Chains A and B, each alone.
Chain A
């Protein structure tokens, strides 16, 4: 013989507060959703991937640069914002082709007009010695020069 031990309940109905709470929170969620319908997701930080391989042709590739930016440690978006439009003390990365906005990079850009972005991202070469990095990490140990060129190509495409 099988023993049946059901669990009873004191009430079968739903209290008005429960319905009210559910409707209210769903309304708040709906409003939040409506205000977040338009935008652009940042590139996915693929688990376990700190740096995808460089382009096989050796040419700078913005698509690879995008992946590298997403997987950089620390992530570029953390300081420069998810849309790279700048955040707090950190400058916007939009329009870097037109020259640096930060005063500390004016000399570097004047001396190396074509390479200053790559040199600044690298941060391990003699050209950037003595420049206050203001919290900007040096990525020279993380990426190869070809990968940094791809990152520059991506940043210029923004």
Chain B
């Protein structure tokens, strides 16, 4: 017998579920961070295509705003907005989501302070949105991109990072000693991120109060820029890959010992890799050389991780040819090795002289950010979102499009920019006139623009895939930490 709902009396209707103003259910913060990350990815790739396009065509304009401020649009500001949206928007939100997803499952306890984490999500993303808008208004000073946000904004970011770090430590500190290697990577990476954003805010405040000289500010900002990559992004990528590969292949990690050796070598080298950026006569030559050597030696944890994770996959090679977590993780691992080799090469002083201040640096950044780190984040999203939302991915086509467009696009864009950088360095060394060099660079930059356009399409495929999953995908059941086992069948973890 069917029931006409219109004929139900009020007391026959099931009680409405009350939604809290600040969600605090299991995985609610992970969901929030993943959604924020996906939106930032769309913004970042759009800005990236614009930034590369502005290497092809010069476009500058400004118009007045209220209170004597003006909106300034130029290549440097677009470039800075792109880097900030990529690192702080897409990759950092994805990193926070990964932490909020992995930690409860590895430790068997819910993420502590879940409502506070939602406030951290708000603080982080509101600050970042304001900061990126501010890049087009305020003077960027002598800062590198990741330190160019106003100090108040950096304070907001530091607050968000501190909240996430505190929630992680409260959840994990008791189990960290015997914890899985991903937790160790995540712990150091989170502490570094909180420390570096705090340092950015402190330097900005000092600059505002006592008007620091340009040189120390520029040196500090370059150090923070490199440390943010080696400590935070690389650390969280290692954490994610060590988590996703065993989970998605359903096999144990090949060697816990090698995992810990990777962690220890990374922990030793990553903090001093930033010293390589302090290239100034006021800094002893040996200090920058030490930084260069640390960058070269970062090849060790990368190589150990690659071998360890590849040895985790035997018997599951067919997963590499699909478009699931393992395929995304495999691309991330390949880029991890390639970028580590490039960083090692780029740390040689002869190579630095050739490619300094060319497109090479931006090409290497693209491979790291949109190769290694983005594919690690895609792998985590591919694995985690069905378990968080308890829905299966809807579009196989969209996942394939996301994988191949992003892979092809970032490979092409990175190669073109690095090739352009080498060509520029060689032409200069060969005595070519600047006009002739610019004409050659146009070809490389045109190819890079097309390549990054493909990455932007991949980002749209990811956002659309997530949207379809949320709205119309088939339900799927997985274990959720903190949920009653009766309502959560063990169909995977």
Residue ranges of A at the interface with B (Cβ–Cβ < 8 Å)? 1-15, 18-19, 21-22, 25-26, 29-30, 32-33, 36-49, 52, 66, 73-75, 77-79, 81-82, 87-90, 133-135, 137
Asked if A3 contacts B142 (CB within 8 A), the reply is: no
Residue ranges of B at the interface with A (Cβ–Cβ < 8 Å)? 76, 104-110, 140-144, 180, 182, 214-215, 218-219, 221-222, 243, 246-247, 252-261, 265, 278-281, 283, 285-286, 288-290, 292-293, 296-297, 299-300, 303-304, 307, 349, 353, 356-357, 425, 428-434, 479-485, 488, 493
Knowing A41-B285, A74-B434 are in contact, say whether A47-B143 is a contact too (CB < 8 A).
Answer: yes
Q: Which residues of A contact B182 (CB under 8 A)?
A: 7
Can you give 30 contacting A-B residue pairs, CB < 8 Å?
A1-B484, A2-B481, A2-B482, A4-B481, A5-B493, A10-B254, A11-B255, A14-B257, A22-B300, A22-B304, A26-B297, A29-B296, A29-B297, A30-B293, A32-B293, A36-B285, A36-B349, A37-B285, A37-B286, A38-B285, A40-B281, A41-B288, A42-B281, A45-B356, A47-B221, A48-B142, A49-B214, A74-B434, A90-B429, A137-B433
Query: What is the predominant secondary structure among interface residues of chain B facing chain A?
Result: helix
Q: Which residues of A contact B432 (CB under 8 A)?
A: 135
A152 to chain B, nearest CB (A): 19
Asked if B289 contacts A33 (CB within 8 A), the reply is: yes
* Complex alpha-carbon distance, A43 and B109, angstroms: 52
Asked if A21 contacts B256 (CB within 8 A), the reply is: no
B68 to chain A, nearest CB (A): 22
Contacting A9 at CB < 8 Å: which of B105, B254, B281, B488?
B254
* Complex alpha-carbon distance, A42 and B283, angstroms: 10
User: Which 6 A-B pairs rank lowest in CB-CB distance, beginning with the nearest?
Assistant: A4-B108, A135-B431, A9-B256, A14-B257, A44-B280, A8-B252
Residue of B nearest to A32 (CB): B293
Contacting B353 at CB < 8 Å: which of A26, A38, A82?
A82
**Additional 8 contacts, C-beta under 8 A, given A1-B485, A7-B106, A18-B258:** A4-B105, A25-B297, A29-B296, A37-B286, A49-B142, A75-B356, A78-B356, A89-B430
Asked if A7 contacts B243 (CB within 8 A), the reply is: yes
B96 to chain A, nearest CB (A): 21
Asked if B300 contacts A21 (CB within 8 A), the reply is: yes
Q: Which residues of B contact A46 (CB under 8 A)?
A: 142, 214-215, 218
